[in-house]
């Protein structure tokens, strides 16, 4: 396996990426950098719930908070919503459970850089 690009060389010398050899049902995008589950209904439900609930807050509660309390609370909630959406996206596009483990030397000597 190439340490730089992740190619796994087959006997016929045709390079394959590690994600192409993965036996699971996950969907891979961007040459294996993004990994998504095979059940997209859960992902869709999560995003719809997030957008609908935040939309209800913006439609009903945010105008009252903006006028009667302080606009800072609405701005803070928008920043937190963007942060939550980015973390949700990051969580949905990466799956640390199938990232290949290190080489045996790297596992045997944690914390040290191996030369060579």
pLDDT tens-digit map of 12-26: 656 566 666 666 777
The answer to whether residue 45 sits within a structural domain is: no
> Rounded mean pLDDT of 34-49?
81
The answer to whether residue 43 sits within a structural domain is: no
The answer to whether residue 66 sits within a structural domain is: yes
The answer to whether residue 41 sits within a structural domain is: no
The answer to whether residue 105 sits within a structural domain is: no
Closest CA to 28 of 16, 10, 42: 16
Q: Please provide the DSSP assignment of 29-88 as one string.
A: ETTTTEEE-S-HHHHHHHHHHHHHHHHHIIIIIHHHIIIII-HHHHHHHHHHHHHHHHHH
The whole domain housing 73 covers: 53-94
The answer to whether residue 112 sits within a structural domain is: no
The answer to whether residue 62 sits within a structural domain is: yes
The answer to whether residue 68 sits within a structural domain is: yes
pLDDT of residue 54: 96
Record the pTM. Answer: 0.61
Number of domains in the chain: 1
């Amino acid at each position: 396996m190439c340490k730089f690009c992740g190619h796994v060389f087959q006997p016929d010398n045709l390079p394959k990426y590690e994600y192409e050899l993965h036996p699971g049902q996950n969907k891979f995008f961007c040459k294996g950098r993004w990994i998504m589950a095979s059940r997209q209904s859960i992902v869709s439900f999560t995003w719809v719930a997030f957008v609908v609930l935040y939309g209800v807050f913006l439609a009903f509660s945010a105008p009252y908070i903006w006028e009667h309390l302080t606009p800072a609370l609405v701005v803070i909630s928008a920043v937190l919503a963007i942060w939550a959406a980015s973390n949700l996206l990051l969580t949905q596009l990466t799956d640390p459970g199938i990232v290949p483990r290190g080489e045996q030397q790297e596992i045997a000597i944690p914390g040290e850089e191996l030369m060579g």
